[in-house]
Structure 1
């Protein structure tokens, strides 16, 4: 058995990861037999527009052909079926002949910036609008560049256009001027005379024919990437000295928030696999990609297509080879380059634009002096790892076993007490692990390593707030909930304030849990899609349907026991994954630590206390924000409160909370270690990255492609099962809240069996709603789901937490004041989300504090609570004793 396990382990370690597939296609060729160099391209009103360019219609330059600049505009529309039409339309003319400018798609039209006409650089800027009703384009002049410029590079971030336009000063023997400009299109819409703004120029040599693309950092903030280019030299008579023009291999990124440039990894040394004379002389040299084109792919990759190496510039034009057809990928998080594949025809001096879900590269030069009229298209199809029969069988067996656990406990569910509180039979350590698993789920298991991989450890500070939260819970919250023998947490709010307050808080909890279910389905769907033929959308549907079926079988007792098992499996899988990385990275743990430390991945706290730090992950933002989020989760969240009342007595409930707290401190640390380890692994193994992948999928991708056979199947099964258990927790607790808060007080049913039927019916409906929202998240293609989850907690949880704190900590607050406070808290968070840049971590704090302050102040306008009304409901009059378990002689809900 030992030999068999070791064999499987080695097979897993030696398994080669799959690569994403670049799926190339073609649109109808441009209606010009020679094609164009330097055309502009973009999309407007659903149509693809290609305009301008230059070619040699009278023959190649070595045969005396002269270059001709063009002003023609071609448009390709989609048919009623959504497919591209078979012919381009000749849609008009540009105001002048233009080639070698920059072009960008905007909602108002295609921007054409700079370029040249008949070899002379121009400063003109135009916006082309496609008018479908008239089947023509209209050109609108915009503020010109500060100076003429061609062969420029640029990108658009938000509504701001950025242009790199270096130049040669009069009499200089090389490019010696560097210019970097921006134009705010939002400001331009208000003032048509808005000028271009001068920005700090890029480092390095002045250049032309550089590659530019926009892509996000791990934080999600978009940067402009400037790659390669050529540094031209000139002879005394002003003619270009082609033999001494230097092609560059350096690269930089511009951060618009910091208004600063940062140098990034230099282009790699790639061996040319073509049979070219003299290529051996360049072996081991870094390869330039001058005049290439580039575009962002997925959430962290920049793809660079073809490019001139400049290695054969000394040969006669007719003897120079065609341009390489390699596609390079730069990963913005690991700062590494890799070869991503090949394109059918290598082309330079052209554009790339998005049209629908594909990238389009129209025309371009295939070799010096020769163009093509082909229009190439690209779709990046994410790879699916070959998971294998053994790995696939493990999740099936494991999930069936978990389903069996659920079925076993479902047979013990005879009443609403069993369904909602497990009959008070749950051991404290099971309840503690269940609370940890409820807070953990796939959100933590998938998103926290991804967050640490993409950024650093600043979010770990948030996990440390569980210790002070545990003190509050065991000393304040648990005694109150046990004293009133609550099934729903919001029963406390009715006793402390009024029934409308209870209903409002419960309604907000229900909305939060439905949103939470959607996210918890979405994240494991990324893992499932990486290892099966299913799409992410199909995975969400499968997860949702399985969770609905599982949850309707049993009650909370089945949920907490499966939660405990999931926690043990998941944490064990995490340790195995870390161990595999330490074995795979040269230098082991020391190398992993060194790489992560040197690149800032272990940065723990941003000690910024300035006024502007509220929009960043400063240490005070993370700590304060997470404190209030956890305060909501552990004192006001029905899914957690259910665990407190499912143990046999108050002492066990307290022990369960402390079990959760210490798991939160030390267990969560493993997720951040995992993120840093993933960074070090992929930094040292760039080809193992999947082109165009979502950042949140990095850990599932590692599990699928790098973990040993069998172990990867078990870990993936654990991810899915944990998600299902969390979803079932949400369904169960939300059904509890709906039935207990909205039906029982109004005596909607005559028997306990009737309420049990309602609970199961609502479980089905809520699961369907969560699944539908999960599908919507797939369409949205969120960058980081942990940030989305944090925002949802702040929006729905802050005001509810404020109600509980207002009730427990004060004696003057009353029902009317608390209602006003809750509404103001919710509205304030909504306003803050839409109108400020405050970090999402602070949303819960804002909601809690506004609810408490407004609620207390508004309460002063109304009569105080009656004498005796607050007995054993505030910290000023704590409960003398707590109920140990529900009285079995009566139904809990009646």
Structure 2
């Protein structure tokens, strides 16, 4: 990090915080603070919805996912456009007609208070954990790579978000997310352009795609029904659609984005805009990761991209054993470079795949040695691939910009989450259980205090969290454990009119217990938990309702 990078990074982040706080100062009532005064245009809604989902985890983990596993992860998003259409036709008209502040208000009008409270609590649990992870994800990686103090980073990111989110509420989140998305898109396009420029003479973009394809990185579609494959066309369309329906239709961090729309039409256009742009955006981010892979076919790469892991093993008794693996890794890199430069033939394609498999085995051996040298060090390096490329290859100034991209993404997602957590706590739990009338200003003040409280809690979660297999998967796993159940409750409310409140409440509790057991025992890939949870709660609630009707005297 040079002085110029620090200047670019600091100015970018300070601009976002100060602009958001200044632009949205002085919210005087609950409608302005929680729903942004219902003034938001469709393009702001679309960008805000996209920015809420595209956290720093997206820009750190997704390129690393593509580097190691190729383009197949994009199938995860195949259900998103379909989910957007369903939400536009069903969810948005109902929410706007009832003029609700949160999605869970509707459940009380359809069922009762306890069902509303249960759904709100399930949201608060999963989103509260996710808010900590969206702070922790960039912090732990930047800490490891740049040598910055992890706790200080967690606190800094959290406080920056708290400042403008407490100040301006929903409007502050929407306003700043437009600036953040502009920075994010600019940074990613510049990074992509530079990667292509850094490739050797004669290696065009089409040639780079051919090299990636020869290494089995360009396989986008998997039509297999193998449940051991996390990402297939079927998990994307079935599990993905249910996850996206749950997330965009019942998660307050997303619902709040389009509840602020000027009209039903503006909200619907915003979601359609997101549905059309999101899959290409994820495809592009994965493609950046694939191009990083191609770049490292011509340039030296570490055996493990986590610098802390490298440091731990080099200073241990296993250093010599690790260095033998490193030597073979370098030999494989040299062999692959020679094969690629000689031309991609069928014979060379087969040789490349063999060398990639051998290199993959070396990396697994390296992880084992790192774990023996220091069990506390993270061996999975997917989340470090892109940041390693940024810091070691980009020119001065652009490093600061790309770091600003990562931190802006962290701030945008965290701001949406804190805003939604505070709104749900204030409206569904605090206000609903007040016995005496309070002024609008009182609830605005309480919303601000709840935002601050959830912000502090998110920072604490970030400070005690540990890295998972892949950060982007961790957030989706947490969501999948809860989302299907909540979606099932909403679908019962919308379409299954004979099912009453007690049956839904009991069915939801039973379903949540079953889903946690299924996840813990690893019986299904996590994306299928959404479909299972949704079907289970609807089925169990319907059965309970039928039995209760049979017992009732005629």
TM-score, normalised with respect to structure 1: 0.51
1:696 aligned counterpart, secondary structure = helix
Shift of 1:395: 1.2
1:326 alignment partner in structure 2: none
Q: 2:17–2:160: 8 Å Cα contact kept in structure 1? A: no
1:850 correspondence with 2:536: yes
Q: 2:17–2:161: 8 Å Cα contact kept in structure 1? A: no
2:400 aligned counterpart, secondary structure = helix
1:754 correspondence with 2:442: yes
1:292 alignment partner in structure 2: none
* Correspondent of 1:705 among 388, 392, 416: 392
* Correspondent of 2:478 among 787, 792, 802: 792
Pair 1:434–1:651, CA change in 2 (3 A): same
Write out per-residue CA displacement over residues 807-831 of structure 1, whole angstroms, 9 at most, x where no aligned residue: 1121112101111221122111101
Write out per-residue CA displacement over residues 466-498 of structure 1, whole angstroms, 9 at most, x where no aligned residue: 211111011101000001001011011111111
1:572 alignment partner in structure 2: 186
Q: 1:615–1:837: 8 Å Cα contact kept in structure 2? A: no
Q: 1:616–1:838: 8 Å Cα contact kept in structure 2? A: no
1:606 alignment partner in structure 2: 222
1:734 alignment partner in structure 2: 421
2:108 alignment partner in structure 1: 494
Shift of 1:615: 5.7
Query: What CA distance in whole angstroms lies between the structure 2 residues aligned with 1:593 and 1:721?
Result: 30
Pair 1:618–1:659, CA change in 2 (3 A): closer
Shift of 1:705: 2.4
Write out per-residue CA displacement over residues 223-282 of structure 1, whole angstroms, 9 at most, x where no aligned residue: xxxxxxxxxxxxxxxxxxxxxxxxxxxxxxxxxxxxxxxxxxxxxxxxxxxxxxxxxxxx
Query: What CA distance in whole angstroms lies between the structure 1 residues aligned with 2:165 and 2:303?
Result: 36
Query: What CA distance in whole angstroms lies between the structure 2 residues aligned with 1:799 and 1:844?
Result: 7
1:593 alignment partner in structure 2: 209
Q: 2:507–2:544: 8 Å Cα contact kept in structure 1? A: yes
1:624 alignment partner in structure 2: 238
Q: State how 1:825-864 maps to structure 2 within 5 Å.
A: 825-862=511-548
Q: 1:530–1:700: 8 Å Cα contact kept in structure 2? A: no
Query: What CA distance in whole angstroms lies between the structure 1 residues aligned with 2:303 and 2:444?
Result: 49
Shift of 1:595: 2.1
Pair 1:854–1:588, CA change in 2 (3 A): same
Shift of 1:689: 7.0
Please list every run of 5 or more consecutive structure 1 residues that lacks an aligned counterpart in the other structure. 1-386, 865-894
2:55 aligned counterpart, secondary structure = helix
Shift of 1:516: 1.0
Equivalenced residues, count: 474
2:374 alignment partner in structure 1: none
Q: State how 1:570-719 maps to structure 2 within 5 Å.
A: 570-586=184-200, 587-610=203-226, 613=227, 616-687=230-301, 691-693=305-307, 694-719=381-406
User: Which structure features the higher share of strand residues?
Assistant: 1
1:582 aligned counterpart, secondary structure = helix
1:808 correspondence with 2:422: no
Shift of 1:537: 3.9
Shift of 1:535: 3.2
Q: 1:817–1:858: 8 Å Cα contact kept in structure 2? A: yes
Pair 1:701–1:597, CA change in 2 (3 A): same
Shift of 1:532: 4.0
Point out the more displaced range, 796-805 or 534-543. 534-543
Pair 1:623–1:760, CA change in 2 (3 A): same
Q: State how 1:49-448 maps to structure 2 within 5 Å.
A: 387-448=1-62
Please list every run of 5 or more consecutive structure 2 residues that lacks an aligned counterpart in the other structure. 308-380
Shift of 1:838: 1.5
1:475 alignment partner in structure 2: 89
User: Which structure features the higher share of helix residues?
Assistant: 2
Shift of 1:527: 4.8
Write out per-residue CA displacement over residues 652-695 of structure 1, whole angstroms, 9 at most, x where no aligned residue: 11111111111212212111111111111123212467654432
Query: What CA distance in whole angstroms lies between the structure 2 residues aligned with 1:460 and 1:820?
Result: 36
Query: What CA distance in whole angstroms lies between the structure 2 residues aligned with 1:452 and 1:615?
Result: 15
1:553 aligned counterpart, secondary structure = helix
Question: Highest relative contact order (Cα 8 Å, sep 6+), 1 or 2?
Answer: 2
TM-score, normalised with respect to structure 2: 0.82
